[in-house]
């Protein structure tokens, strides 16, 4: 793959004439180059086992995708392919445009006053992410970006039914460790799709080749996040791509990558830029928890208010991003802060390192321990 990655990719995509998403690409590779990556049948057999009982076939996918993303020809093409709207979103778009409401298992999407309000509603597991939630989030982000009636996006956690937090809003508990223990968190379907799919679209927009504006192939919109109670792991990672973040004063932020044993998505790329290298190491390597009332929290949240005032503060905040020049300026900020080539190189190495971490002895031991108790 190091020597032939670009040619392999060109064969699979007919010379980059076809845009394949990650899952389609690895499936095509398994057919065209037997033995290069696991087949769908092999992966299905792996999926039936707990994480500790798997053979680690996804590591071959990590090797394959590292080479594709490293290629200055194939890598950008794959990243752009992942910015295309999903078929599911395109199918739901007429309904959402007409009614302003789509309710999915993990996300409720409502358009009101030009604001797309994405409410994370996995109330039973504190909005811990699994593949279902990643799919619902990408669908919701696509719809918000494609609907001409939406000018600003807002993401917030809904009220929980979990006994410990019943009736309280929670932003996110991060990756669902029970699903990881059970073998239901995949490299391609969760860990890479999440970063290159809906999170990538929050940053760079949705790609609408052929029917977009002549001056911009992507449709971008500004995004606000509101944090209630906590943003742990993947929830904290997510905050790093929003244009503004508000937090309740009794909430906290945590990115316990070392405790869980895996690489926290693009958090290693972004947290140091946002909060500084020393604090990033304290959080990612040392597991430091940052409370919203700490001075360092101002590096992660633009505004911290008392919980009873958060609703009003959020409404005022989304209005601040509803301006003609906001999209152009956020595009230039994102280009300066995270050039696509830098992101591509990071994700190439992430694909490989994360595939190894999924099968590390420490990870298997830790998720087995965490899986038996609530977050």
* The two three-digit tokens of residue 187, written as one number: 């490299």
What confidence score (pLDDT) does residue 215 get?
Answer: 76
Instruction: For Cα atoms 350, 354, 356, give the angle at the middle one, nearest 5 degrees.
Output: 125
Residue 173's contacts (CB-CB under 8 Å, 6 or more residues apart) are 125, 126, 127, 128, 230, 232, 233, 235, 375
> Which range, of 29-43, 104-118, 165-179, 199-213, averages the lowest pLDDT?
199-213
Cα 149 to its chain centre, rounded Å, is 24
What confidence score (pLDDT) does residue 371 get?
Answer: 56
187-232 pLDDT, tens digit per residue, is 999 999 999 999 999 999 999 976 556 778 899 999 999 999 999 9
| CA 76 vs CA 79, 292, 342: distances in Å | 5, 37, 11
Torsion angle of alpha carbons 362, 240, 153, 146, nearest 10°?
-70
What confidence score (pLDDT) does residue 310 get?
Answer: 98
Is the pTM above the cut of 0.75? yes
- The DSSP H or E segment spanning 248 is strand 244-248
**CA-to-CA distance for 130 and 98, rounded, in angstroms?**
29
Q: Is the pLDDT of residue 365 over 90?
A: no
Position 372 confidence tier, pLDDT thresholds 50, 70, 90: low
What confidence score (pLDDT) does residue 212 get?
Answer: 56
Residues paired with residue 107 on neighbouring β-strands, in sequence order = 120
Q: Is the pLDDT of residue 375 over 50?
A: no
321-336 pLDDT, tens digit per residue, is 999 899 999 999 999 9
**Helix (H, G, I), strand (E, B), or coil: what is residue 87?**
helix
Cα 130 to its chain centre, rounded Å, is 11
What confidence score (pLDDT) does residue 374 get?
Answer: 47
- Radius of gyration (C-alpha) of the chain in whole angstroms: 20
Q: Is the pLDDT of residue 233 over 80?
A: yes
H helices present in the chain, as ranges: 5-12, 22-32, 40-47, 58-70, 74-82, 87-99, 131-146, 177-181, 193-194, 200-204, 234-239, 257-260, 267-275, 277-284, 310-320, 326-337, 340-357, 361-370
Residue 174 · residue 235 · CB < 8 Å: yes
> In the predicted model, what is the mean pLDDT of the chain?
95
Q: What is the rounded average pLDDT of the residues 172-190?
A: 94
Q: Is the pLDDT of residue 340 over 60?
A: yes
The helices-and-strands tally (H runs, E runs) of the chain is: 18, 12
What confidence score (pLDDT) does residue 213 get?
Answer: 66
**CA-to-CA distance for 293 and 252, rounded, in angstroms?**
8
Instruction: For Cα atoms 363, 200, 258, give the angle at the middle one, nearest 5 degrees.
Output: 20
What is the length of the chain?
375
Question: Which fold does the domain 85-352 belong to in CATH?
Answer: 2-enoyl-CoA Hydratase; Chain A, domain 1 (3.90.226)
Residue 159 · residue 119 · CB < 8 Å: no
- Which of 160, 125, 168 has the alpha carbon at shortest distance from 373? 125
270-314 pLDDT, tens digit per residue, is 999 999 999 999 999 999 999 999 999 999 999 999 999 999 999
Residue 249 · residue 304 · CB < 8 Å: yes
Is the Cα torsion angle 360, 44, 142, 101 positive or negative in sign? Answer: negative
Position 369 confidence tier, pLDDT thresholds 50, 70, 90: confident
What confidence score (pLDDT) does residue 373 get?
Answer: 54
Residue 357's contacts (CB-CB under 8 Å, 6 or more residues apart) are 261, 262, 263, 363
Instruction: For Cα atoms 137, 142, 146, give the angle at the middle one, nearest 5 degrees.
Output: 155
């Amino acid at each position: 793959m190091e020597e032939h990655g670009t040619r392999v990719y060109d064969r699979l995509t007919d010379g980059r004439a076809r845009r394949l998403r990650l899952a389609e690409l690895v499936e095509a590779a398994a057919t065209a180059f037997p033995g290069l990556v696991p087949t769908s049948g092999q992966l299905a057999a792996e999926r039936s086992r707990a994480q500790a009982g798997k053979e680690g076939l996804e590591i071959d996918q990590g090797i394959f995708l590292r080479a594709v993303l490293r290629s200055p020809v194939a890598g950008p093409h794959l990243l752009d392919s992942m910015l295309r709207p999903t078929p599911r979103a395109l199918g739901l778009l007429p309904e959402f445009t007409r009614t302003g409401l789509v309710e999915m298992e993990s996300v409720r999407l409502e358009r009101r006053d030009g604001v797309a309000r994405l409410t994370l509603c996995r109330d039973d597991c504190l909005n811990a992410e699994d593949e279902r939630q990643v799919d619902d989030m990408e669908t919701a982000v696509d719809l918000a970006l494609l609907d001409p009636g939406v000018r600003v996006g807002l993401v917030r956690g809904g009220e929980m039914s979990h006994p410990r937090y019943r009736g309280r809003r929670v932003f996110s508990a991060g990756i669902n460790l029970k699903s990881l223990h059970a073998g239901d968190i995949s490299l391609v379907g969760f860990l890479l799709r999440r970063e290159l799919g809906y999170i990538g679209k929050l940053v760079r927009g949705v790609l609408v080749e052929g029917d977009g504006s002549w001056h911009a192939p992507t449709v971008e919109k500004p995004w606000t996040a509101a944090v209630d109670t906590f943003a742990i792991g993947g929830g904290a990672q997510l905050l790093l791509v929003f244009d503004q973040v508000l937090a309740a004063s009794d909430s906290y932020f945590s990115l316990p990558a070392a405790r869980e044993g895996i690489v926290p998505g693009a958090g290693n790329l972004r947290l140091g830029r946002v909060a500084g290298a020393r604090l990033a190491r304290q959080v990612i390597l040392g597991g430091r928890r940052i409370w919203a009332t700490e001075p360092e929290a101002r590096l992660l949240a633009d505004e911290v208010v008392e919980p009873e005032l958060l609703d009003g503060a959020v409404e005022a905040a989304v209005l601040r991003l509803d301006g003609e020049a906001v999209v152009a300026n956020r595009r230039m900020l994102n280009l300066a802060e995270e050039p696509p080539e830098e992101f591509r190189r990071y994700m190439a190495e992430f694909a490989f390192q994360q595939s190894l971490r999924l099968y590390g002895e420490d990870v298997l031991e830790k998720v087995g321990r965490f899986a038996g108790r609530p977050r």
